Structure 1
Amino acid sequence: MNQMSASPSAVGAQSRSGRSITAPLGFTVPQDEKPVFHSSALTGGAPKIFFQVEEIPVEIADMRPIADDLDLDRQGFTLKKHPTAVADLYDDDAVTSTYYDEVVELVKQAVGATKVVIFDHTRRSDSGAGAANKDGARGPASRVHVDYTAASGPKRGNDALGAGEVEAILAKGGRVVQVNVWRPITGPVQRAPLALADAESIAPDALLATDQVFPDRVGEIYQLAHQPGQRWYWAPEMTRDEVLLIKGWDTKDGVSKYTPHGAFQIPDQDPSAPPRESIEVRTFAVIEG
């Protein structure tokens, strides 16, 4: 898998001096058979899973004191101040034109890419009804996961960039990185925020390849098994002017490739607080050799 092995991290050490909370995250229990679940696009509602999930309380550190030290190639995520000119992020026309252009420029700068292709966006809400998307309503993804695997990353990359493009880019000494851009639609976020793992703290055998069944295809993601030593972070009360960049897959060896993440409930969170609403844009970035 080439995920970097769990090891001490300077950033992880710094985080222990900051504020942290303890909250349960949804982990997948390893099993003999390959895990599988039916996606929301297939069920028309909540995903249907065919494996055991366990909620385990973990320490989740505030990333804000160390935000300047976070790196996509080490921790696998960064927190950025990035206002948007789009007033309504539920307006698909505005999202696919103006907002997509903003995201392309952001990702280009973040990874030094010459080309960025956006292939998907998803809205989520913990309102109960979920957030509106063209393929149905979506709630927060509560199981800790990574969107792509060693097998599905290059396949999805070729789907987005063009048949054989990933291999052609690599043959020229280039690199392809999958990056998600996650933003609150409204803020500050007071319910169901996102927890992210320091990718350097995730051992390869904790990543469980899982089949994700859609109406017309079967994809593959990683679910995460809990192991001691995993380090977790969140950004308290994220605003609409902030984004998380989350790496999902990378062709380069020797760097963090996969960043587990998932929603969680803040201890004693106010049930009357506004729902968490967010939009996540998925991209492939091309870095020339």
Structure 2
Amino acid sequence: MKFISGTTDFKLHNSAVTLGKFDGLHKGHQILIHKIIELAGKGYQSVMFTFSYHPSNLFTNKEIGLIYTEMEKRHQLEKSGLDVMISYPFTKETASMEAEQFIKEVLIDKMDAKVIVVGSDYHFGYERKGNIELLEKLSEQYNYELIVFDKIESHNQVIGSTSIREEIKKGNMETVHELLGRPYSIIGEVLHGRKLGRTLGIPTTNLIPEEDKLLPPNGVYASKTIIDGKSYEGVTNIGYKPTVGADPRVGVETHMFDFNEDVYGKIIEVELYRLERGETKFQSIDELKAQMEKDIVFAKDYFRDYQN
């Protein structure tokens, strides 16, 4: 997959393009992406276009945590068969571009879009004045086909990034799994930790999430870790590890069952399946170890029942 980021200077040809924020790459997004990959089989170049920074963050003081950061999004899409991912700079200049100007200068001149695939609520351009009606109106003039997909629902609610964020904040990982169409996950490089888990006979991997990553509540989760394409069941703690001297940044610490390889420096993906308990400060290391052993039993029981 070709990745274009941080520049407006590029030229593509004969593209089938899907456009959106694509935060979460949820089930609705997957329909759009699968469509352009299907069109690639007919000779088009499949292109996913998004902005490099969540648009809401540019004009407000409120930071919006991302379900998948740009790095994580790229990691997920590398496995999809997509030809090109564009992470377009979102600046005052690009935000002020009128909708028809965006169609002509970006979709047509830069991407040579022959097919445009969007959701029914897609808006774009200055003050979000562009919509599917405008795309339809200009399709003949600019010689492209427009394909529009309706929103999809799950459990009587429309699948969207806003509702998924709310479920993540509540720690409802099974609901998040259903809405995303995959487990919520955190991707990052394995870093050296304090090695306390190893001294307790419960070795762990440690990674620090990116700052703009939306995390669920601090606590302990049944998890699976993907390393070099293989999946390992385990248990993950998200938090500051208050019992052993609180860390300044939230970390993701995972114990994988029956796994004791050196993975320092590797990029791993930690999938969260179910919240067991919140993060707790224990009175002693022995009390912490006893709870960790209970956490392991919880996760093993969960995955045994999950697979039956």
TM-score (norm 2): 0.19
> Would you tell me which structure has more strand in proportion to its own residues?
1
TM-score (norm 1): 0.20
Higher relative contact order (CA 8 A, sep 6+): 1
> Would you tell me which structure has more helix in proportion to its own residues?
2
Larger radius of gyration: 2
